[in-house]
Amino acid sequence: MPFVVREVREADEPSLLTGLEGRCATRRSAAEWRWYSHANPAGRRAFVALDGERIVGHYAVVPRRVWIAGRESVFGEVVDAFAPRAAPGLARELPYVRLARALAAAHASPGGDLVYYGFPAGAEWRVANGLLDHEVVRDQMVLVRAVPSASAAPSGVVRLERFDHQARWLWDRCCGRFGAGAIRDEAALNWRLVERPGARCEILGVRDANGVLRGFAALRAGQLAGRAAAWIVDWLVPPEEPDVGALLLAAAEGWARGAGRDELCTVLPEWSPWFDALQRAGFLVVPSGLSLSARCFARKFDEVWLRENWWFTLSDVLSV
């Protein structure tokens, strides 16, 4: 193939943004691209394919610092991939495949990035599965409940403008039940939920009498998986504190009603106690039509292990 494949450089930005605007299914502003590419506290993973001086392909993984099996590592979400078509019969030399393999060779290993994941579909899934070793983690289900027309506003719930060091305290209280999960500390949560251009979440928290954060829920209204709803994008509450969860759910209902939404939805791992608790609170489990897939670079953390151990919410996905 005549293309040169290498890591992204700062000077690539104008050409890359032009390519992203014209070739990617996801419409992303320059500010949003800079946010995930430059401001991510976990760093950057991105390769480009060049035809001379012109960028004709791009493959990026947005890394998250992850606590997995008692140590810190990195999972990455595949985003904003585009590449020219290969000639017939050259599927294994697809520029898309070359980009993905180059990025993995540079960053992924049992001692480096452990998992790359996403929601590929159609032709993208056939390439990811057939040539890039992606396997299905789960057919993603969504928890859905109708928003009542009226309910009493709960007391004890506060709006969080930003996260502070107490975010890590809360994460440490919860993560012992997870085999793996993106670390939800001050830097990661502010980057993902507060600082994203044009997509700031409403963040509701519960504090105890000493001002300690006992749990939070992050919300956004929007279209996902065919549902125009209010979405709980992130949820971090110790399961042994159901009263905190009940307060946050009631406050989320009120916020959804104020946003003019008829449904409150979320995504949680099916092994989590909260998945069952929300069903007891009236949520129904419905298919999203999407399949979460992953490429695992350490055999013991394969797709089956991830299905049963990975704390995964919508904050782990940039499309929300």
Q: How far is CA 212 from CA 13, 135, 168, 305, 309, in A?
A: 42, 40, 11, 33, 27
Average pLDDT, the chain: 91
DSSP 8-state code for residue 40: -
- pTM greater than 0.85: yes
pLDDT band at 24 (very low <50, low <70, confident <90, very high): low
User: How many CB atoms neighbour CB 58 within 10 A?
Assistant: 25
Residue 53 has pLDDT above 90, yes or no: no
* Matching fold, domains 4-140 and 141-289: yes
Q: Residue 41: CB partners within 8 Å, gap ≥ 6?
A: 65, 187, 188, 191
**pLDDT at residue 224, rounded to an integer:** 83
**pLDDT at residue 47, rounded to an integer:** 95
Residue 22 has pLDDT above 70, yes or no: no
Class at the top of the CATH hierarchy for domain 141-289: alpha beta
Task: Name the residue ranges covered by the structural domains of the chain.
Answer: 4-140, 141-289
Correct CATH for 4-140 of 1.10.132.10, 3.40.630.30, 3.40.109.10, 3.20.20.100 = 3.40.630.30
Q: What does the pLDDT look like over 283-305, one tens digit per residue? A: 999 999 999 999 999 999 999 99
pLDDT band at 90 (very low <50, low <70, confident <90, very high): very low
CB of 266 within 8 A of CB of 222?
no
Q: What does the pLDDT look like over 198-208, one tens digit per residue? A: 888 999 999 99
Q: What does the pLDDT look like over 237-286, one tens digit per residue? A: 999 999 999 999 999 999 999 999 999 999 999 999 999 999 999 999 99
Q: Which bin fits 172, alpha (ψ -120 to 50), beta or left (φ > 0)? A: alpha
